A and B are shown apart, each in its own frame.
Chain A
Amino acid sequence: DQQVKQNSPSLSVQEGRISILNCDYTNSMFDYFLWYKKYPAEGPTFLISISSIKDKNEDGRFTVFLNKSAKHLSLHIVPSQPGDSAVYFCAAFTGGFKTIFGAGTRLFVKA
């Protein structure tokens, strides 16, 4: 049973518009979340993170929102660019060396 769920396998967005990638988790004890980005033929790279003591974290065009009561987080990319086309993994760091990943969402940004 997946503890971190990304229910949209893919998302297509026009260049310049907002991309919203969603992630749900089941364990209310999770308190640190990360987003990783993966291009083909490369390993995932860290993008942005958020601690459960916050509900928003922003880094340039990327913002992550956390709704603890709903056990939901989302990644917003504004404005979207063709170079953002990649697979995005949501992850929960559980402590004790363990990170649990979602299945990933493939983002296509059309020029």
Chain B
Amino acid sequence: DVKVTQSSRYLVKRTGEKVFLECVQDMDHENMFWYRQDPGLGLRLIYFSYDVKMKEKGDIPEGYSVSREKKERFSLILESASTNQTSMYLCASSGQGATEEKLFFGSGTQLSVL
């Protein structure tokens, strides 16, 4: 069974802290994504990566960075957490190339920034 695993289910951090969200997939997928889900706004793309060490900005990259040192692992970094980054963060992966439509999601990390 294919799997995308996010390291934490819940996180509570303080304003100004550096936060790392980790995601691992076991499907040998090339593409990996970070979304955030907010009520009334659906899922919005933060960053994605189509290969190791490659990254592209999504629709809302401000305040975030990413790292992809290995194919199976994609990390989201909040350099200095702020209260407006309180959200559900979802990692996803898809096969290979720019035409892979179907996304496979992890269970999400609910981040609260106090």
Which residues of chain A have a CB within 8 Å of any CB of chain B? 2, 4, 6, 9, 32, 34, 36, 41-46, 49, 89, 91, 93, 95-99, 101-104
- Given A43-B107, A44-B103, A97-B94, 16 more A-B residue pairs with CB atoms under 8 Å apart are A32-B101, A34-B101, A42-B107, A42-B108, A43-B4, A43-B108, A46-B102, A46-B103, A89-B43, A93-B101, A96-B98, A97-B33, A97-B56, A97-B98, A98-B45, A101-B42
Neighbouring A residues of B99 by C-beta, 8 Å? 95
Interface residues of B in 30-86 (CB under 8 A from A): 31, 33, 35, 40-45, 48, 50, 56, 58
Which residues of chain B have a CB within 8 Å of any CB of chain A? 4, 9, 31, 33, 35, 40-45, 48, 50, 56, 58, 90, 92, 94, 98-99, 101-108
- A98–B90 Cα distance when bound, in Å, is 15
CB closest residue in chain B, given A5: B42
Q: List 10 A-B contacts (CB under 8 A).
A: A6-B42, A42-B107, A44-B43, A44-B103, A46-B104, A97-B48, A97-B50, A97-B94, A99-B45, A103-B42
Neighbouring B residues of A44 by C-beta, 8 Å? 43, 90, 103, 105
Neighbouring B residues of A2 by C-beta, 8 Å? 42
- A72–B40 Cα distance when bound, in Å, is 19
Neighbouring B residues of A34 by C-beta, 8 Å? 101-102
Q: Is the CB of A103 within 8 A of B103?
A: no
Neighbouring B residues of A41 by C-beta, 8 Å? 9, 107-108
Residue with the greatest number of chain B CB neighbours at <10 A, chosen from A34, A45, A98: A98
CB closest residue in chain B, given A51: B101
Residue with the greatest number of chain B CB neighbours at <10 A, chosen from A36, A42, A96, A97: A97
Q: How far is the CB of B18 from chain A (nearest CB, A)?
A: 25
